[in-house]
A and B are shown apart, each in its own frame.
Chain A
Amino acid sequence: MAERPGVRITGVHALSALGRGAEAQLAGVLAGTPAFRPVGRFDTSARRVAVAATLPEVGPLADELAEAVDAACAAARLGAGDRAGAPLLLAAHGGAGVPALAGEVAGRCGLAGAPRVYTSACVSASTAVADAAALIGRGDVDRVVVAAGYLVEPDQYALFDAGRALATDGAVRPFSAGRRGLLLGDGVAAVVLESAGAARRRDAPTLASVLGWGRAGDGHHPCQPDPQGRGLARAVGAALRRAGLDPEEIGYVNANATGTGYSDAAEAAALRLAWGEHAGRVPVSSTKALHGHALEASGLLELVVTVLAVRHGKLPVNAGWLGPDEACPLDVIRDAPRRAATAYALSLNSAFGGANTALLVGAA
């Protein structure tokens, strides 16, 4: 790939039910076998659904986050001095202990503090990545570590169950006919982002670059997406404009699609609004069908998966497919991974509040 300006991704790490570590994520999404299993972590006898994508033997969230940050920094070959100048942007479910969690993780990992925690539901981590890229681009800092974590726990599980958001058939079927909802999944990830100059000066490994990003709101409803997808379409447009790329150059979209009827249709509408007929020709899948929905961490887990897949040159399948839905006229990757036609990919996320993000990466 010709060198484009952008923010370098020099180290990644992730944990999900697919396994522990970046390579486990790549192997898992290319294998295409969903990681959902009966929940054994807590009692689900009062719930309608009792399935999630959980990794056995996970530690407390603070420990898993610290391990992820350390592993990503090690992958980026960051020394203690390099870490000391890098702030942590953390994404996690909000609550009284969350600012302290950020401080603890930053302190344990030798980072330059944690100014804020992103609590924007399912766009928390992707917003943090966009902000990190913007901070680096503005010249505030040379390097930012973004970390995010959600481990399936009883309170959010009960809320999603009570909201009838969970798939009663135990499968996530993004964009598919017969989809019944989402399933939750563990996700802890960390990514080291650096300016091109800083990465070059220390001869850092570059996995990919964040070339563009966009954040936009629907202004439509507290909890439902705009059925026309106007906010997400604006986020996609902003990401491509920042990257200086045309839609025809995008080889893959890792969609937000949760397997929920109206929201998957709204995402398809957004891509059609942004790209017109071409939206039907871009390979799309949602890896939530494999690793579940990691809520506040979903944007970072999916960014890691997207980067690794595009680098590897193979695009993961959209598991759970039963058949086409005319409300989702997209080129959904089914049956087997597909060869990546270009090095550029989008990772999309949407959340309650009509919040939308688009992250555009180019594999190195």
Chain B
Amino acid sequence: MTGGTPGALRVLAQARWPEPGDGAPPTLPGFVHSTFSPVVAAVADRCLTRRHGERPAPEPVGVRTAVVLVSAAGDRASADHVHATVARGGRPGPLFFYQSVPNSVAGHVAARWGLGGPVVCVAPTGDPLAEGTAEAELLRYDGDADETLLIMIEQAPDDAGAGVAAGTPGEAPGIRATAVLLGGEDTR
């Protein structure tokens, strides 16, 4: 499932969260409680800035860039909070509705950078990079995208959003993300 166009994609830019010197991820308006979406946005911004400098991504490449978000467990902190709230008969806050799927922050990145390719979120059963790269290759082969911003993120079960809530210096606890911009020939 990872074959097809070997060598067709190359790494145009990449970034990680955290990188040396990172504190808590910046807050992301409209997203609450969890570090998941803020870290996705931060690592995506970092990667795309290294490639494009300033927002938005230039045309024609921007409208042909996909966002592929790979996470086996998704936003654990938000899901756990909602589950606990519902289990005790409460009402989750309305913002949790909007961040209940990873598409929302992927769409935030797409809107912020003017990316018009497909938005695809997957949970891999094996190697996240291999599955994410396979999806990017397929979208490129298939003609729906020339470049793909691939974001891989996992949030540890005990990361209940402390990095955001407390604004603690140092690493956001229990969350790691990598963003890789994949493409073929230089289309800038």
Contact = CB atoms under 8 A, between A and B. Distances in A.
Contact of A215 (B4, B101, B120, B131): B120
A127 interface: yes
Given A138-B4, A155-B86, A231-B116, A116 B94 contact: no
Interface size class of A (residues with CB under 8 A): 35 or more
A114 interface: yes
Interface of B: 1, 3-4, 30, 62-63, 66-67, 71-74, 76, 79, 82-83, 85-86, 89-94, 96-98, 100-108, 110-111, 113-126, 131, 134-135, 138-139, 141-144, 157
A49 interface: no
A313 interface: no
A162 B92 CA distance: 6
Given A127-B120, A353-B107, A162 B1 contact: no
Interface string A301-323: 00000000000000000000000
Given A46-B91, A216-B116, A219-B63, A156 B122 contact: no
A94 interface: yes
Contacts of B71: 94, 119
Interface string A199-243: 000000000000000111111111100000011001000100000
Contacts of A154: 86
Contacts, number: 203
B74 A94 contact: yes
Contact of B118 (A113, A156, A216, A222): A216
Given A43-B89, A95-B79, A155-B83, A162 B96 contact: yes
19 contacts: A94-B121, A96-B73, A99-B124, A120-B101, A120-B103, A121-B101, A134-B141, A138-B138, A154-B86, A158-B85, A159-B82, A159-B96, A214-B144, A217-B115, A219-B113, A220-B110, A353-B105, A354-B111, A355-B120
B174 to A, nearest CB: 14
Given A158-B86, A159-B96, A352-B98, A219 B116 contact: yes
A118 B110 contact: no
Interface of A: 43, 46-47, 87, 93-96, 98-99, 102-103, 113-121, 123-124, 127, 130-131, 134-135, 137-138, 140-141, 154-156, 158-165, 214-223, 230-231, 234, 238, 351-355
